[in-house]
Amino acid sequence: NAGVTQTPKFQVLKTGQSMTLQCAQDMNHEYMSWYRQDPGMGLRLIHYSVGAGITDQGEVPNGYNVSRSTTEDFPLRLLSAAPSQTSVYFCASSPDNNYGYTFGSGTRLTVV
């Protein structure tokens, strides 16, 4: 049972480039979320989904897009990378928000 799988683990981008962070879960969870973690800021919610075909914005959605075409996959797209998007990105899934989330191991992104 793989849980939540994030790829890649590390990425360096140049300002203005676009890329997609991949997230897949094999637990048939309805809820999936993307967070970014910056020093001293805890985790901030970027986008979330409550099921296939349904997504919504979190606290810091600007510069990011998501889609949820299947229950398993929830990719995060950076449209035009900026240095302010340098961060560690975590994907998480849950069968129900009240049951707690299972996290992936993160993607460390640096934008130069």
Q: Which among 102, 104, 27 has a CA at the least distance from the CA of 71?
A: 27
Which of 23, 66, 78, 92 binds other proteins (CB under 8 A)? It is 92
Name the minimum Å distance from CB 26 to other proteins.
16
For 63, the 3-state DSSP assignment is coil
Write the Ramachandran bin of 99: left for phi over 0, alpha for psi from -120 to 50, otherwise beta.
alpha
* Interaction residues for other proteins, span 56-85 (CB under 8 A): 56, 58-59
Where on the chain is the footprint of other proteins (CB under 8 A)? 4, 31, 33, 35, 40-45, 48, 50, 56, 58-59, 90, 92, 97-106
